Amino acid sequence: MAHVAVLHHSSALLVKYSDTSQYDNQPGWFLPNDELRHVEHPEVAARRLLKEQVGIEDATLKLVDVESFIGDAKTWHLSFDYLAFPTTMNVSKGEGVTEAKWFEIGKLPSLEEFAHRGWGRAVLLKHAKVAPLAAPG
């Protein structure tokens, strides 16, 4: 799986999905994410999901973490966490995305409004602390 914390200056992009069955039936806010396709490189997956889910085609990506955990079905999962620094805040909702919204990092939705008991919020805050909040360069 690839997760992408999309940052533009002091804001982060969050999404909600229409078909929550693909996301453990969890409603709420997510970092844009998707499963990797067979033999797909994690960075290629991150770029693909940005384009397909929120219409972002021009962004600098940085791999910041690889997580390993056991899922509900007692199977191992790997999650590749990326930071993305797009050149613009213009987004367009892709298929399956019901909402895509920028939030100031200091004014994120509450923990209860995030899917998976706030997991995406915790990941975002962890990585936003160590990342410059503007596009590198």
Domain residue extents for the chain: 2-130
The verdict on pTM exceeding 0.85 is: yes
pLDDT band at residue 137 under the 50/70/90 scheme: very low
pLDDT in tens, 103-120: 999 999 999 999 988 889
pLDDT band at residue 135 under the 50/70/90 scheme: very low
pLDDT in tens, 42-100: 999 999 999 999 999 999 999 999 988 776 677 787 899 999 999 999 999 999 999 99
79, β-bridge pairs: 67
Residues 6 or more apart whose Cβ sits within 8 Å of residue 132? none
86, β-bridge pairs: 59
Is the distance from CB of 7 to CB of 133 less than 8 angstroms? Answer: yes
The confidence score (pLDDT) of residue 69 equals: 79
Is the distance from CB of 32 to CB of 51 less than 8 angstroms? Answer: no
Residue 45, both tokens: 């997956």
- CATH code of 2-130, in short, is 3.90.79.10
3-state DSSP call for residue 77? strand
Is the distance from CB of 6 to CB of 51 less than 8 angstroms? Answer: no
